[in-house]
Structure 1
């Protein structure tokens, strides 16, 4: 028994605010029915002893230890800056005077 009916497709079209012609309703009824049937077949096989997967091959992230390294001195940081003053980068103002 088909779960997807033309009336249901028309109702979904109204909810989605999509105007569907009779031809589109007929075509979508068949397509959506096939999709629902395929989902039902997968649901039959998906039992608690079958783990859910999002990828056919098991993936594992490779992480390195998060270890703090050496730090640069303020002089080292500013040595290649185009313009610096008072231990800071000097840049062109991008905001108006009111800021």
Structure 2
């Protein structure tokens, strides 16, 4: 039994402020009806004993551990900088004086 009718699709279009042609209404009626049918099928098998998941296969973190390594000194970092002052990069101001 079809829950989605062309009138309902037109009404949804009005609510969304989308102008739909007759061809679009016909196409969307079929597509939305198929979506509603598929959701109903999933609802039939989604019982309380089935745990909700976001992915069918268990995922695990594949990142390496965060380990502190050798670090550059401020002078090493700034040695090739075009301009530096007080152990910082000096750049041209891009914001107005109000900042």
Any gaps of 5 or more consecutive residues in structure 1? none
Verify: 1:74 aligned to 2:79, yes or no.
Answer: no
- Residue 94 of structure 1, CA deviation: 4.2
RMSD across aligned positions (CA): 2.6
Supply the distance in 2 between the matched residues of 1:39 and 1:48 (Cα, whole angstroms). Answer: 16
Stretches of structure 2 lacking an aligned partner (at least 5 in a row): none
TM-score, structure 2 normalization: 0.69
Comparing 20-29 with 37-46, greater Cα deviation is found at 20-29
Shift of 1:95: 5.0
- The equivalent of 2:60 in structure 1 is 60
Seen in structure 2, the aligned counterparts of structure 1 residues 91 and 2 have a Cα distance that, compared at 3 Å, is closer
- If the length of structure 1 is used for normalisation, what is the TM-score? 0.69
Distance in structure 2 (CA, Å) of the matches to 1:89 and 1:74? 10
In the alignment, the residues of structure 2 paired with residue 87 and residue 21 of structure 1 have an alpha-carbon distance, to the nearest angstrom, of: 64
2-structure distance, mates of 1:25, 1:83: 62
Point out the more displaced range, 40-49 or 59-68. 59-68
